[in-house]
Amino acid sequence: MGGTSSVRIALVFPDLLGTYGDRGNVAVLAERLRLRGVDSEVIECNVGDFVPADCDIYMVGGGEDVAQLVAVRHLRRQGTLAAAVERGAVVLAVCAGMQIIGTSFVGTEGVVHGGLGLLDVSTRPMPKRAIGELVVRPTSLFGDELLTGFENHGGCTYLGPDASPLGAVVSGVGNGVNGVDGAVQGRVVGTYLHGPCLARNPRFADKLLTWVTGTELASLSIPEVEALRAERLRAVGVR
């Protein structure tokens, strides 16, 4: 954990990649650590700030097409997110976040832009924007509980050979290719699940945290969180 006992959580450019409420993922991580008696520090990096390379876990959220272009340029110039991944840091990148940490994405006016290349995925426009609830059955690495969230994107994301899907789409669109959502490559995870994703899927949050702490975490039972999950799954007729 970065050489200290406190988990360092970076929130990457919420002023650009904060359109869909994904900053809530940071609050969930910090709170689930606090409930286990583990200290954390949230480092919020707005555009123009330097993203430190020594954080334990990085949250990259969703945003508009132009904003994600600005974000990727800054991140590439800084090089720190790539350095952190090289060091084994954990990344959760949602929607535009996943697109920009991939190898390429198509921006406004059909121009192809290079991504950071931290995840072997490439994104192209979809014929029809995907908007609505998204339910995903994760691969066994992430347990046996359905992941719930909402999606709102025009990009269709293709996996390259170095990435594997986060899971199979049960309801909604996800990546828009091969019936899967997201991508996983080492400790870098991408998904189209907003929600915030970790608020709706606490076991997923804990999985990422065990990668950071290197230990199993005591289970937590928070009735409000379970009620939210159940309500969201019921809304799309999944249980």
Ligand X SMILES: NC(=O)CC[C@H](N)C(=O)O
Which residue in the set 10, 45, 57, 96 belongs to the binding site for ligand X (CB under 6 A)?
96
Rounded to an integer, what distance in angstroms lies between the CA atom of residue 118 and that of residue 102? 6
Q: Within 10 Å of residue 113's Cβ, how many Cβ atoms?
A: 17
- List active site positions: 95, 194
Determine whether the annotation assigns residue 76 to a binding site: no
Rounded to an integer, what distance in angstroms lies between the CA atom of residue 105 and that of residue 83? 21
Does 152 engage in binding with ligand X (CB under 6 A)? yes
* Span from 8-16, 23-31, 149-157, 158-166 in contact with ligand X (CB under 6 A): 149-157
Smallest separation, CB 70 to ligand X (Å) = 12
The site string for ligand X over 155-194 (x = CB under 6 A, - otherwise) reads x---------------------------------------
Smallest separation, CB 129 to ligand X (Å) = 7
Does 102 engage in binding with ligand X (CB under 6 A)? no
Smallest separation, CB 219 to ligand X (Å) = 31
Contacts with ligand X in 58-77 (CB under 6 A)? 62-65, 68
Tokens of 42: 């949230």
Q: Please name every residue paired with 133 in a beta bridge, in sequence order, or none if there are none.
A: 150
Is residue 124 a contact partner of residue 107, using CB atoms and an 8 Å limit? no
Residue the block writes with tokens 């697109």: 99
Q: Find the DSSP H helices in the chain.
A: 24-34, 65-78, 80-86, 96-101, 197-200, 202-213, 223-235
Residue 197 CB-density burial (10 A; 0-12 exposed, 13-18 middle, 19+ buried): buried
Instruction: Tell me the residue type at 215.
Output: T
Rounded to an integer, what distance in angstroms lies between the CA atom of residue 169 and that of residue 147? 9
Which residue in the set 13, 20, 58, 142 belongs to the binding site for ligand X (CB under 6 A)?
20
Name the residue number minimizing CB distance to ligand X. Answer: 62
7 versus 60: smaller Cβ distance to ligand X = 60
Does 106 engage in binding with ligand X (CB under 6 A)? no
56 versus 65: smaller Cβ distance to ligand X = 65
Sign of CA dihedral 24, 123, 71, 139: positive
Is residue 45 a contact partner of residue 80, using CB atoms and an 8 Å limit? no
Smallest separation, CB 95 to ligand X (Å) = 3
Residues annotated within the binding site are: 129
Contacting positions for ligand X (CB under 6 A): 20, 62-65, 68, 95-96, 152-155
